[in-house]
Structure 1
């Protein structure tokens, strides 16, 4: 194959420069985003090797053609049963890599343009899952004050709900990110998604809880300390809680709360708490642009799509208030039933 030798020699150097230099230094993307791109490219190379018989040390430019990438997308969807969103992330990574390659080497130009025109998979919009008010209240009451670990975990749940931060943002939170003595107290998220910085206001009750927590768990520390806000102690040193540790903590109290409140679903993650906080604000009339800022969404369209389905419950509540004599009757439909009818052709 003409030109194969040069092509094979260029692929891996370009891939390493793309991940190791271009994405972090030129695009200034977060490590999480870079890791996602890396995993996507690795997955595609694995596909080429296992499904197409192409040795990874001899990746030709021709492997990045429209038909192969489309077959890869179909493979992810039909064989591996990955969600459309995940398939879309894989495709985005391939397109971004090919765009970089085309800028560095004209041999990639044609491949980039033919792959760039591939459309991503359409996904079905699902209703946002969030906890009812009584369920969230029950969950926050589960950690008791008997031990220092329980007090830490109670503060963690309160903080997670009030700020609606992502779990990775929670693990990265440091003392210097708290501004509790301001007229309007707030926290600063320094390492948000895409390395974005944002400020999040705090409720007065949360500020009070935090001051007591800091007095116990960070005695004598200055406000500008880079000490992790939530930590475990090993070898007499504080180590920030990992995302897995936080998920385990949350799961423990979710299981406890479910015994008192059956409305709590089986699967409740940190993102559920984030959605619940945002939904509570939305239902209380907070404008979407403010919720967008709180969540760290770049596009208002993302927030609108995220919470569009909330209007089903809100509409029912409004009708119930305006027609009490009708609303008091036992409903003849179930929530899932009406959603199925509203969002299908059946």
Structure 2
């Protein structure tokens, strides 16, 4: 059994093993196409992995989450081989939660009609959200 298969067999989640296998194979293919040689995982450098990261971001235009998954697979496999490689992936930015429009809020209240408990909870949440938005927009600069 080759080292990659041995490593993948140690993973407890079949889904993770499948994704890591695909990520490691994809990296090996990229490495071969880029350098003309097959990848030697024991000699892999930080620069080569950074080049791969740049390729994923600029040429393939993958999301930060997709790039980070591939980097996690490489780091984890190298750790299994007794190596550490410090390559940071792109920062993942979570978009802010979009507030409900008046129409959406009205439809939510209409759906809860007949249940005083649900209506009370929705009222509380809507008022707290409204108050929070007022605080964030008017007083945020005072808190800094």
Q: Which residue in 2 is equivalent to 1:317?
A: 130
Q: C-alpha displacement at 1:51, in angstroms?
A: 2.2
The equivalent position to 1:126 in structure 2, one of 80, 88, 95, is: 95
Deviations 1:256-311 (A, max 9, x none): xxxxxxxxxxxxxxxxxxxxxxxxxxx86xxxxxxxxxxxxxxxxxxxxxxxxxxx
After TM superposition, what 4+ stretches of structure 1 lie above 6 angstroms from structure 2? none
Change (3 A) 1:128 1:37: farther
On the 8 A contact 2:7/2:80 being kept in 1, the answer is yes
Deviations 1:132-166 (A, max 9, x none): 5637x88xxxxxxxxxxxxxxxxxxxxxxxxxxxx
- More helix as a share of residues: 2
Gaps of 5+ in 2: 112-120
Whether 2:36 is the aligned partner of 1:53: answer yes
TM-score normalised by length of structure 1: 0.30
The equivalent position to 1:79 in structure 2, one of 20, 45, 59, is: 59
Q: Which residue in 2 is equivalent to 1:22?
A: 10
Change (3 A) 1:319 1:126: closer
Whether 2:47 is the aligned partner of 1:70: answer no
- More strand as a share of residues: 1
Change (3 A) 1:35 1:314: farther
Gaps of 5+ in 1: 1-11, 103-111, 139-282, 285-312, 323-337
Q: C-alpha displacement at 1:40, in angstroms?
A: 1.2
Change (3 A) 1:125 1:47: same
Q: C-alpha displacement at 1:124, in angstroms?
A: 2.4
Q: C-alpha displacement at 1:101, in angstroms?
A: 1.3
How many residues matched? 120
